[in-house]
Amino acid sequence: MLMEKLGYILSEGPILILMVWSAVWIVRWRRSRENRPWFNHQDQRLLFHAAQYRPDTWQFYPRFILAVLAVAILGFLQITLLAPLGAAIGTAAFILTSAVIVHGVLLRHR
């Protein structure tokens, strides 16, 4: 049983790494064609800025519950629909969807 799971991870792992690598390569290629830097101020602000809603404010908890419910419901739907396509595609879609939900609900500046 363990060897089957390990074999599945070994077969899907390189596909996931290839998908992430190709996405980064496409972003770098598009930016270099437009003579823009690969990592700019907007990327830094997106990845490293402080959240607008912190756990010490009352607005955090309803937004957090909304984000958890949205990720759980959409994650269940994605796993159900994308499972036949493979674990790497399902994982990439789930991570991207979860990141967009959390960014939109908890981290967006108004």
pLDDT digits (tens, 9 = 90+) for 33-92: 988 888 888 777 767 766 666 777 788 889 889 999 999 999 999 989 988 888 888 888
CA distance 75 to 93: 9
What is the predicted pLDDT for the residue at 15? Answer: 82
Answer whether residue 110 shows pLDDT above 60: no
Q: CA distances (Å), 47 to each of 10, 25, 35, 107, 108, in order? A: 30, 18, 22, 10, 12
Answer whether residue 103 shows pLDDT above 80: yes
What is the predicted pLDDT for the residue at 74? Answer: 93
**Token pair for residue 12?**
């899907």
Q: CA distances (Å), 105 to each of 53, 63, 92, in order? A: 9, 6, 20
Contact partners, residue 106, CB within 8 Å, separation at least 6: 51, 52, 53, 60, 63, 64, 67
What is the predicted pLDDT for the residue at 109? Answer: 57
CA distance 25 to 82: 24
> Could you give the angle at which helices 87-102 and 60-82 cross, rounded to 10 degrees?
160
What is the predicted pLDDT for the residue at 70? Answer: 95
What is the predicted pLDDT for the residue at 56? Answer: 76
pTM: 0.60
